[in-house]
Amino acid sequence: MNPIVIRFGRLGDMLLLAPLLDRLHRGYGEPCLLLGTGPCSAGLYDAHPDVARMLEVSARHQPLAFSPDRWRMLRALHRHRGAPVHVCEAEPRALAKIKRMLALAGVPRDRCVFLTDTPVAPGEHWIERLLHGCGQPPPACANEWRTPASSTTAPAPQLVLREADRRDCNAWLRARGWRGEPLWLVQPFNKRSMRWNGPRDAADDDKAWPAPYWVAVLRALREDHPRARIVLCGTPNVASLLDAIARDARVPGVDVAARELPLRRLMALAEIAEGMVSVDTGPAHVAAAMGCPLVVLFGAQPPSLWLPRSPTGSAVIALGGPPQRSRVSDIGPDEVIVALCDLPPRNPELPRAA
């Protein structure tokens, strides 16, 4: 049977599962049934060889009684209760709900592996934590497992694009006047940047970077890459904030894409972009997975745990983060501009804008 992997995480959390999904596919000989939170997961793993099927819930903490998505998951778990189950969730409330679902579905405990059963090694990156904690079969499934060959390189997520995604991205760019110029991506905000009633106070967001700093970065990018198109990335709820940054920068060739940037289009953009600068957030992991050179600004989370990884060896430069700094606002714009100047070009053998 297909191994079952459960993780109720955000975009970056779900993407970091990719090396584990690859290991489980090779170990069991079958792609995974992935249970996660939407809508990012299905977009990430569309056409992915390590995922046979994706089931999502809209909210990780929604009660079972009020969630049709959870009932669908429960029925799937019941149908596949003989399959190995790898639970990659560490957040206590979400983990408690998962354990309740497994019990209701009649999944035996000896067919389950829980990430939380393995102690966390100090400074361990999340990818290694997932591989160490959930990369082996549960006791009852040991006979179904063939240990995959180990790799000499650090494991990194790999994503898969369809040709339709590339055609969509190309048509979208050309509708905006793009004619093959180099592309640079800029991701100023993260999921915590907005609350339901408006922008979050900067004092309450360790990943917030002042708008004038982003303006300085846009002007430096324009000066260093006079032919480039600069795409401001984000979700629709931060579009007005990105509009303000673009307006204050007063440089040509800046596109605010937040209103028209579904995940698969972002992946296609990252596949051909010259580089990206981003706060520590899910799209930064997407860019690295697509081979895009990257500068990442860290706040309270240490890069040793969350640094994006590239399967192609493209550069990832981390700025900030503990123990020296705990807020992105502690990073000066000049430091970011210097890092962008030092960012090595992407591998010339990888896809380029055409």
- Does residue 203 share a domain with residue 335? yes
Domain-embedded: residue 156 = no
- Does residue 176 share a domain with residue 68? no
Q: What is the DSSP string of 201-232?
A: PGGG-TT---HHHHHHHHHHHHHH-TT-EEEE
- Does residue 243 share a domain with residue 193? yes
Domain of 99 in residue numbering reads as: 4-144
Where the chain has pLDDT below 70, the residues are 59-66, 196-197, 348-354
C-alpha 200/C-alpha 180 separation (Å) is 37
Domain-embedded: residue 318 = yes
Phi/psi zone of residue 257: left (φ > 0), alpha (ψ -120 to 50 degrees), beta? alpha
Domain-embedded: residue 206 = yes
- Does residue 129 share a domain with residue 231? no
- Does residue 122 share a domain with residue 75? yes
Contact yes or no for 301/13 (Cβ under 8 A) = no
- Does residue 232 share a domain with residue 119? no
C-alpha 147/C-alpha 334 separation (Å) is 48
C-alpha 140/C-alpha 84 separation (Å) is 8
- Does residue 102 share a domain with residue 188? no
What pLDDT sits at residue 37? 84
C-alpha 292/C-alpha 312 separation (Å) is 9
pTM of the model: 0.93
In 3D space, the residue among 214, 204, 197, 205 whose CA is nearest the CA of residue 281 turns out to be 205
The structure tokens listed for 110 are: 């000896």
Domain-embedded: residue 158 = no
- Does residue 167 share a domain with residue 140? no
The structure tokens listed for 272 are: 């051909």
Give the CATH number of the domain where residue 14 resides: 3.40.50.2000
Phi/psi zone of residue 323: left (φ > 0), alpha (ψ -120 to 50 degrees), beta? alpha
- Does residue 174 share a domain with residue 51? no
- Does residue 222 share a domain with residue 119? no
- Does residue 169 share a domain with residue 126? no
- Does residue 136 share a domain with residue 245? no
